[in-house]
Structure 1
Amino acid sequence: MAKIEEKIFDLAKPLVEEKDLELVDVEFVKEGTEWFLRFFIDKPEGITLDDCELISRILDPKLDEVDYISTAYHLEVSSPGIERPLKTTEAFQRFIGHIINVTTYTALNNQKKHRGKLISATDDQLVLQTDEDTELIIPREKVSKANLVWVEEAKS
């Protein structure tokens, strides 16, 4: 996550959690000539359009107040989708038993892309059971990106 996204994530997280929702991710991206600030929120039973609208109404004035972003942008709030990103220890632990993709900054076992069933997750490491039925230990500081994989086995 880029610095500006981290600052915005840290600002938004308690505001989102106050409404019993989870802040999954924040993106600040340019698409064509337009900038977009996207918040991905979730809750166990899934989010509604009303949830998205509520968070948008809460965050919009707060973002104007702190003025972290000097350029014009569009504010969007949505679900992270079925292949949601995993970033926090809590998110990883919530999806133990599910199939995930993990990309690492440096190669582990001669590759940077890994897929497997998440066996355990701590602040320090992830343990995946790979398709070859071996356990792969991935130090958390090596994780560049991780997300759920939508496959039948992932549903439990």
Structure 2
Amino acid sequence: MSVENRVIELVEEKISDRPDLFLVEVKMHSNGKLIILMDGDQGINIQDCAAISRHVGYHLEEENVVEHAYNLEVSSPGIDTPLTLLRQYLKNIGRSISIKTIDGSKREGQLLAASDTSIQLEEIKKEKGKKAVKIENTISLDQIKETKVLISFK
């Protein structure tokens, strides 16, 4: 069993009583950094990250899962981290997002809805000399290369 798979099991074990929390990604880097990205439907706090870190770290040491020195880091995805899970899309409904499609185009708008197969995006189209118009579009998830939440400082 890989280190990542064991970590996934340990995280899922620790959050089994917390349906609001979910695992985004586990990555063991060659430099010895083991990163666990966690999130929650209403976000995740530092106490939750610390509890997960203690649980995973304790069991990895007890079971001697990692053969070499490593650095365990548990955090929420940064604001510049692309959305990867349907649950992340659902959590961000109503927010502005930026999408890069697999054909290379870039789209921005408000995320209205998300499903297993597509998202609804409200885009603002502006034509010279005309009033801006809001247009709702459905974008298939298999056409999306990357989605990021846009932060407004207004």
TM-score (norm 2): 0.68
Aligned positions of 1:51-90 closer than 5 A = 51-63=48-60, 65=63, 67=65, 72-83=69-80, 85-90=82-87
Corresponding position: 1:127 with 2:120:
yes
> In 2 relative to 1, CA 53–121 (structure 1 residues): closer, same or farther, beyond 3 Å?
same
Aligned to 1:151: 152
- Deviation of the 1:84 alpha carbon: 5.0
- Deviation of the 1:17 alpha carbon: 2.7
Aligned positions of 1:1-156 closer than 5 A = 7=5, 10-18=8-16, 20=18, 21-29=21-29, 34-43=31-40, 44=42, 46-48=44-46, 50-63=47-60, 65=63, 67=65, 72-83=69-80, 85-104=82-101, 106-107=102-103, 111=105, 113-132=106-125, 133-151=134-152
- AA at the equivalent of 2:109: G
Alignment partners' CA distance in 2, 1:127 and 1:5: 37
Q: Is the 8 A contact 1:8 1:26 kept in 2?
A: no
Q: CA RMSD in A?
A: 3.2
Q: How high is the sequence identity, in percent, across the aligned residues?
A: 27
Which is higher, the Rg of structure 1 or of structure 2?
2
Alignment partners' CA distance in 2, 1:91 and 1:114: 18
> In 2 relative to 1, CA 141–75 (structure 1 residues): closer, same or farther, beyond 3 Å?
same
Mark the runs of 5 or more structure 2 residues left unpaired by the alignment. Answer: 126-133
Alignment partners' CA distance in 1, 2:44 and 2:147: 20
Over residues 48-83 of structure 1, what are the superposed CA-to-partner deviations in whole Å (9 max), with x where a residue is unaligned? Answer: 2x322211121224456494x666432101132345
> In 2 relative to 1, CA 96–39 (structure 1 residues): closer, same or farther, beyond 3 Å?
same
- Deviation of the 1:92 alpha carbon: 1.0
> In 2 relative to 1, CA 56–86 (structure 1 residues): closer, same or farther, beyond 3 Å?
same
- AA at the equivalent of 1:143: I
- Deviation of the 1:8 alpha carbon: 6.1
Provide the aligned length of Structure 1 versus Structure 2.
141
Over residues 109-136 of structure 1, what are the superposed CA-to-partner deviations in whole Å (9 max), with x where a residue is unaligned? Answer: x61x332211110001112122323333
- AA at the equivalent of 1:24: V
TM-score (norm 1): 0.67
- Deviation of the 1:23 alpha carbon: 2.0
Q: Is the 8 A contact 1:127 1:136 kept in 2?
A: yes
